């Protein structure tokens, strides 16, 4: 797999959220606003890229890899937990509103299946540079997925899009024009499942349509 494919697979083909369905619990919980989704993406980006790099660095040294192999899962957890704690401390100190908003889901990044999954499935058996590229692609794919969910949820539930702090786009005029109120259910947990299900169904329908077209093309050519 070349570097370009390695990068883009995490964004579309192997998107951790919409294709692999990994890390759904925190993803659905924090997508009540776009700002939360951006904050979570930054945290996951930092942890995923660095954990992939460090784990790949350890495992690419054959002598060290032999010693680490029997205790590799505890080693992954120690590395990931350290990076998550750094994110937590820095966010608490410099982005307190985001820290309080994301709450318990920051420390929960430690057990995010995406990060542990990439460490075991990719970083442990690939070179550091490839692992960093894989981490960047996966983190961006994850970020795009949760930002998409949060845009739908915040817009439909509150009529706004909070990008960062006071930078908020007020779209309530659309609801005023339609003479309806924002649908508060969408910022509740039920709205998360509904939005996620609808986006997943749309993506599956598009993918199936694409597959059918390809199959027809092959049949016609044959």
Residues in contact with other proteins by CB under 8 A are: 29-30, 32, 36, 58, 64, 67-71, 74-75, 78-79, 81-82, 85-86, 89-90, 92-94, 96, 100-105, 107, 187-189, 192
DSSP structure class, residue 78: H
Q: Is the Cβ of residue 66 or residue 176 nearer to other proteins in the bound state?
A: 66
C-beta separation of 118 from 134 below 8 A: yes
CB of 196 vs other proteins, minimal distance in Å:
14
d(CA 15, CA 118): 12
Q: How far is the CB of 125 from other proteins (least distance, A)?
A: 19
Q: How far is the CB of 205 from other proteins (least distance, A)?
A: 28
Closer CB to other proteins, 6 or 195, in the complex? 195
- Report the C-alpha gap between 189 and 185 in whole angstroms: 8
CB of 108 to other proteins, least distance (A): 10
Identity of the residue, 121 or 190, whose beta carbon is nearer to other proteins in the bound complex: 190
Our CB check for other proteins shows the closer of 194 and 203 to be 194
Quick one: three-class SS letters along 58-89? HHHCHHHHHHHHHHHHHHHHHHHHHHHHHHHH
Q: Choose between 168 and 188: whose C-beta lies nearer to other proteins.
A: 188
Least distance to other proteins, CB of residue 139, Å: 20
H helix runs in 69-188, sequence order? 72-94, 96-102, 113-121, 128-158, 172-178
H or E element that contains 164: strand 160-164
Contact at 8 Å (CB) between 37 and 161? no
DSSP helix/strand/coil, 170: strand
> Tokens 């460090």 correspond to what residue?
54
Rounded CA separation 58/33 (Å): 37
Q: Residue 217 Cβ, how far from other proteins at the closest point, in Å?
A: 45
| Closer CB to other proteins, 11 or 98, in the complex | 98
């Amino acid at each position: 797999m070349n570097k370009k494919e390695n990068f883009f697979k995490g964004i579309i083909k192997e998107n951790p959220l919409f294709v692999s369905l990994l890390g759904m619990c925190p993803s659905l919980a924090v997508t009540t606003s776009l700002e939360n989704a951006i904050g979570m993406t930054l945290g996951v980006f930092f942890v995923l890229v660095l954990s992939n790099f460090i784990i790949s660095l350890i495992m690419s040294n054959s002598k060290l890899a032999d010693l680490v192999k029997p205790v590799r899962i505890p080693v992954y957890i120690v590395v990931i937990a350290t990076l998550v704690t750094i994110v937590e401390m820095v966010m608490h100190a410099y982005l307190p509103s985001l820290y309080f908003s994301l709450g318990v889901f920051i420390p929960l990044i430690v057990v995010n299946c995406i990060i542990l999954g990439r460490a075991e499935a990719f970083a442990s058996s690939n070179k550091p540079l490839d692992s960093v590229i894989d981490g960047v692609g996966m983190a961006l794919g994850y970020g795009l997925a949760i930002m998409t969910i949060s845009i739908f949820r915040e817009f439909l539930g509150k009529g706004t899009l909070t990008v960062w702090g006071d930078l908020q786009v007020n779209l309530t005029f659309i609801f005023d024009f339609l003479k309806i109120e924002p649908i508060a259910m969408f910022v509740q947990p039920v709205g998360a499942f509904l939005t996620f299900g609808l986006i997943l169904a749309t993506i599956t329908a598009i993918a199936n349509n694409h597959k059918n077209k390809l199959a027809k093309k092959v049949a016609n050519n044959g």
